[in-house]
Structure 1
Amino acid sequence: MSAIESLRPLLVALILAGAGSVQAEAGGASAMPLAAPQFAPLVAVARAGERLAAVGDHGVVVLSEDGDTWRQARAVPVDGLLTAVSFADAGHGWAVGHGGLLLRSEDGGETWARQADLEGQPVLLSVWFENARHGIVTGAYGYAAQTRDGGNSWQRLNLGAEGDDYHLNQVFPGPKGSLFIAGEAGNAYRSKDGGSTWETLDTRASGSLWTGLGLRDGRVLLAGMSGRVLLSDDQGDTWRELDSGAHEAVTALAELPDGRVALVGNGGLVGVSDRGVGRFTATIRDDRLNLAALAPRANGELLLFGPAGVLPRP
């Protein structure tokens, strides 16, 4: 698989296939008000306290307190594709997109302001904020940067060997304050000092890793192409492959209240692990829509996100 074929923006484009044009960069207009914003194409979701905030194409941001009723954010100053979202707490959130786009909210996602675009206008694929000041973004062709002042200024991060330009698909927290990045071509990275320095991990995987998750019990998961799910019991030093029950690409993971893990992916893939997270039972939705994100409800039910917006699990 070529570098271009494994680029996450292409995956996003596939997710949104049939749901309208995908803009490569955010435009100058604001997000269009929609009568039913929960049915707009959505590609990422995060919790802002007890609230859910999901983002997607055309600058759409939708919010919900209960997962049943959704409303559109009041002010989003862009109309392009938003690829990821992160909230440090119930109020402070960030969303990113193509062209180095960075949005900030201080009211739980109700309104958003555009911060200065990142130098070089990188394709941003992931964002994570520890608190209102410290955050990391990752993107295509090895782009990674860190802020210590709430996104007002950014410093580039060096990952891997000099000259590596693997796409960095998702940054996420692990146990004991560690951070991980899931990347292209089986590459993954770990930081033990809050993101200042990184080491390359030996995952023994070849296909791109799209997503990852730190579990409450201290274990770490990575997932990606061909239904691959990797588990580490030792904070990323070694990895073993789990039976995902599927061969479709896995795009997102979430831990359920009872400790099980749910996954979603291309072709309508939905899977749930056993309680020990040793193997998954997978199903394929009848609509076979590519799924981009998921969020567990308090009762263990799943909310799914994709080209048709918020989708209840049947």
Structure 2
Amino acid sequence: MKTVQVLPWLLGLVWTGQAVAAPAIALSDVRHAPLVAVARAGDGLVAVGDHGVVALSADGQQWRQALSVPVDGLLTAVSFVDQRQGWAVGHGGVLLHSVDGGQNWTLQQRLEGKPVLLSVLFTDAHHGMVVGAYGYAARTTDGGVSWQPMSIGEEGDDFHLNQVFQAADASLFIVGEAGHAYRSSDQGASWQVLDTGVSGSLWAGTGLRDGRVLLAGMSGRVLLGDSHGRHWRVLDSGSREAISAVTQLNDGRVALVGNSGLMAISDSQVTHFTSAQREDRLNLAALAAHSGHLLLFGTAGVIDGVAPDAKAAVTARQAAENAPR
């Protein structure tokens, strides 16, 4: 039996090659469940994690568990196209679909070969894609009913593909193992290999509103590139910890989180970062700005972004002031 352990933000959770076909466990307080990814669904938030747990919030403060999730495995990523329709993926090729804002989920299918899925992105109700371990990549044009393989990189490449995201000009980017990154300008029909100039794994990325693209990953590495991914420069994140997630705030600054309680926020022009480390040193897997709060997600579940030490508190408070309300 093969064991796969791919990303730092999987928080030590290991897949043994089998996905459990059982309902998600019911929790007394879903806020404290390990959560590894979050997406905006209309004005609300939907977070996913281990044991098929899906957590929902309308205000970022009060959280409730989804009513029905048909699997008990690790869910690694989630994507919503509006306040009602979304998809979640996980280990064992699991693809879940919700049409009621994440309250209830159905197993749309298990993708062929039961791959370890690490990221999902739907750009509308019909067009979506998933990427995962060992170079797995597929796309759909019918809302997830059928999937076609995508050719990423050179023939024979089996680098883990860690995240797929959309830039401001609607182009698509994938970041992966060993510094690999790719760009598509035709909704995933073809992909261009990008030269990032680095060899360490990239775990996360985001498209900035001014058209630039930011990538992040191993050893605190942050890369800032133009909209086509032709030119990259390294930014100082202020840390050597692995970065697991990034997001842009309302005022243009970028917030990021990572291993060992890392959180950092850039200046408004995204030229440098001010970093801090939570005293609890818990691994952080995702973040979201909502209702004046910067929310963090990780091994301890949902965490308010205001950390106990003064430096992190100031950084998080400034970010919260610019969070969507």
Measure how far apart 1:16 and its partner are: 4.7
- In structure 1, distance between residues paired with 2:272 and 2:17: 37
Match of 1:51 in 2: 44
Equivalent position of 1:95 in the other structure? 88
8 Å Cα contact 1:96/1:126 also seen in 2: yes
- The residue type paired with residue 53 of structure 2 is V
- Where in structure 2 are the equivalents of 1:202-281 lying within 5 Å? 202-281=195-274
Alpha-carbon distance in structure 2 between the residues aligned to 1:302 and 1:16: 24
Distance 1:189 1:8 in 2: 23
Change (3 A) 1:280 1:25: farther
Distance in 1 (CA, whole Å) between partners of 2:47 and 2:227 is 32
Query: In the alignment, what sits opposite 2:310?
Result: none
Tell me if structure 2 keeps the 8 A contact 1:140–1:169.
Answer: yes
Would the alpha carbon gap of residues 54 and 296 (structure 1) be closer, same or farther in structure 2, given more than 3 Å must change?
same
In the alignment, structure 1 residue 61 sits paired with structure 2 residue 54: yes
2:112 to 109, 119, 132: 119
Equivalent position of 2:299 in the other structure: 307
Contact 2:7 2:203 in 1 (8 A): no
Q: Counterpart of 1:9 in structure 2: which amino acid? A: V
Deviation at 1:235, TM superposition (A): 2.7
1:176 aligns with 2:139: no
In structure 2, how many angstroms separate the alpha carbons of the residues matched to 1:80 and 1:140? 16
8 A contact 2:15–2:91 mirrored in 1: no
Match of 1:187 in 2: 180
- For structure 2, the residue ranges without an aligned partner over 5 or more in a row are 308-325
- The one-letter code matched in structure 2 to 1:59 is G
Write the deviation string for residues 146-183 of structure 1: whole angstroms up to 9, x where unpaired: 00001110000001111011110000001322000001
1:140-155 alignment runs, 5 A limit? 140-155=133-148
The residue that corresponds to 1:161 in the other structure is 154
Map Cα deviations across residues 50-89 of structure 1 (whole Å, 9 max, x no partner). 0100000000000001111000000000111001000011
In 2, Cα distance between equivalents of 1:24 and 1:37: 26
8 Å CA contact 1:88, 1:130 repeated in 2: yes
Aligned residue for 2:109, secondary structure, equals: coil
Contact 1:25 1:81 in 2 (8 A): no
Pick the aligned partner of 1:9 from 6, 10, 15. 6
On the 8 A contact 2:91/2:117 being kept in 1, the answer is yes
Counterpart of 1:308, as a letter, is A
Which segments of 5 or more consecutive residues in structure 1 lack a partner in the other structure?
Answer: none
**1:116 aligns to what SS in structure 2?**
strand
Counterpart CA distance in 2 for 1:24 and 1:51 is 33
Indicate the residue corresponding to 2:312 in structure 1: none
CA deviations 1:157-213 (Å, max 9, x no partner) are 001111011110000001322000001000000001111100100000110000000
Report the Cα distance in structure 1 between the residues aligned to 2:128 and 2:226, rounded to whole angstroms.
26
CA separation of 1:282 and 1:8: change in aligned 2, threshold 3 A? farther
TM-score normalised to structure 1 length: 0.94
State the one-letter code of the partner of 2:61: D
Does the Cα contact within 8 Å between 2:59 and 2:291 map onto a contact in 1? no
1:267–1:284 contact (8 Å) kept in structure 2: yes
- For the residues of structure 2 that align with 1:257 and 1:200, how far apart are their CA atoms? 31
- Alpha-carbon shift at residue 233 of structure 1 (Å): 2.6
TM-score (norm 2): 0.91
For 2:168 and 2:125, locate their aligned partners in 1 and report how far apart those are by CA, in whole Å.
Answer: 20
Aligned length: 305
* Structure 2 Cα separation of the partners of residues 91 and 67 of structure 1: 17
